[in-house]
Structure 1
Amino acid sequence: MNHHHHQSQRTIEIDTRLVTTGAALTAAGAAVACVGMAIAAFAVLKAGRRMIRDMDVPPAQQAATKWRQAKEASRAGMEAWQSASDAQNGSHAR
């Protein structure tokens, strides 16, 4: 018993014009988005450079000053802690 099953072959018919149009519009939209992002990035960078240029003290000098202040504060705190520790040890030694 040899039965041949005839399977109906279904094919998908795609309108290639619509696919092509969709792909072209997607590519155009991506290009416009890239140009928009580039313009926005340029504007932000330009504003940042202008802000840094208009500062009274350059950022590198500000950082150096803050670093010196932090080191001095750390040293002062350590000296105060050692002084308090020495004072406590002196009062316990009596």
Structure 2
Amino acid sequence: MNQHHQQSHRTIEIDTRLVRIGAVLTAAGAVVTWTGMAIGAFAVFTAGRRMIRDMDVPPAQQAAAKWQQAKEASRAGVRAWQSASDARNGSLAH
């Protein structure tokens, strides 16, 4: 029974040098990954700025024009609906 008791108390021996090397390589990989992501994001951001700068009409001006068109279309729709409603009500009164 003593022999069995001694076997159950074995400890795991870990090579701490390998653990440290693994941690350093993981950290180095994370640095390389973040550097790559930053360079990629910078490239996309720069391309977007260049594209906006080269546009004939700036995005803010395009948005304002589209908003104005939407308001005018909405007003025209309301007028058409009111005209149809007035015509229907007028035809029922006669």
TM value normalised by structure 2: 0.91
Aligned twin of 1:58? 58
CA-to-partner distance for each residue in 1:43-80, whole Å, 9 max, x for gaps? 00000000000000000100100000000000000000
- Give 1:30's aligned residue: 30
- Structure 1's consecutive aligned runs of 4 or more residues displaced over 6 angstroms after TM superposition are none
Please report how far the alpha carbon of residue 10 of structure 1 lies from its aligned counterpart in structure 2 after TM superposition. 1.2
Instruction: Tell me the SS of whatever aligns to 1:56.
Output: coil
Note if 1:39 corresponds to 2:39: yes
- Could you list the runs of 5+ residues in structure 1 that have no partner in the other structure? none
Structure 2 residue runs of 5 or longer lacking an equivalent are none
In the alignment, what sits opposite 2:86? 86
- For 1:7 and 1:84, locate their aligned partners in 2 and report how far apart those are by CA, in whole Å: 96
Letter of the aligned partner of 1:43 in structure 2?
A
Q: Please tell me whether residue 21 in structure 1 is matched to residue 27 in structure 2.
A: no
Alignment coverage as a number of residue pairs: 90
Structure number having the greater helix percentage: 2
The root-mean-square deviation of aligned C-alpha atoms, in Å, is 1.3
What's the CA shift for 1:17?
1.3
> For each residue in 1:12-56, what CA deviation from the matched residue of structure 2 results, as whole angstroms up to 9, or x when unmatched?
100111111111110000000000000000000000000000000
